[in-house]
Amino acid sequence: ALHSRGRQRDQIWAALTRREVYATSGPRTLLWFDLINAPAPASILPMGSDVAMDYTPRFQVRAVGSFKQLPGCPDHARQGLPPERLARLCRGECYNPSEERKRITRIEVVRIRPQQYPGEPVAPLIEDPWLVLPCAGEPAGCSVEFSDPDFGTGRRDSLYYVRAIEEPSLAVNGAQLDCSVDAAGTCRRINPRAAGREDDRLAPIEERAWSSPIFVDYAMPDGVAGRP
């Protein structure tokens, strides 16, 4: 998905050039991710942006769940194609949204920082997730804010991206790995198998959307030279 100012070709390409794009696991989830205290004159910068600053960055995430689906196909699909064709294309299940949206249960924040010297351990620099922000589960969506107080004290470049997680819903082949779990619910062994023609292996999964990163470089304040 992308945030475009219109549907003209040049407007869509402009959104791609701005990297104001995000992905989903399939559903049409809505997602916004902004730096809300960017240096002047911008003030607010969307996902995909890069910026240099010397103070604590603050971010806002807004997400709205995708529409819950009705069974079968809508009238316009059934009028345009015979049942046999729909069955062959999609087994008779089309995009058929209801008026009810899935709820967003939480926002996950990932923070990644580059090495500052050769051989610096990489694992601690990739924090996934760095933050988990619960949502109230309102039908209208979720809005949260967060900041990184380590940015100014650590004096190192960082990038941030977010994931919006929807409430569990059934998906075809959702249990493809067929985990054997222990008493704590941890997957100890997988028994992967693909679904057969008559076995859709419906199982609950958490559909999600994830943003493009916002790249925040640390810029030394005026009059201060060098990095630690």
pLDDT tens across 65-90, in order? 999 999 999 999 999 999 999 999 99
pLDDT at 23 > cutoff 90: yes
Give the range of the structural domain holding residue 198, as residue numbers without chain letter.
170-205
| Percent with pLDDT over 70 in the chain | 93
Which domain CATH number covers 41?
2.60.40.10
d(CA 180, CA 34): 40
pLDDT at position 228 is 45
Looking at the fold, whether 109 and 45 belong to one and the same domain comes out as yes
Looking at the fold, whether 74 and 179 belong to one and the same domain comes out as no
Strand, helix or coil at 78? Answer: helix
Tell me 27's DSSP state: S
**Structural domain count, the chain:** 3
Contact 178, 222 (CB under 8 A): no
Looking at the fold, whether 60 and 162 belong to one and the same domain comes out as yes
- Find the range with the poorest average confidence among 27-31, 115-119, 163-167, 198-202: 198-202
pLDDT at position 22 is 98
Q: How many CA atoms lie within 13 A of 33 on its CB side?
A: 30
d(CA 60, CA 143): 7
d(CA 32, CA 1): 11
pLDDT at position 202 is 79
Looking at the fold, whether 154 and 58 belong to one and the same domain comes out as yes
Looking at the fold, whether 86 and 196 belong to one and the same domain comes out as no
Q: Is residue 11 part of a domain?
A: no
pLDDT at position 143 is 97
d(CA 181, CA 153): 42
pLDDT at position 191 is 77
pLDDT at position 227 is 47
Looking at the fold, whether 74 and 154 belong to one and the same domain comes out as no
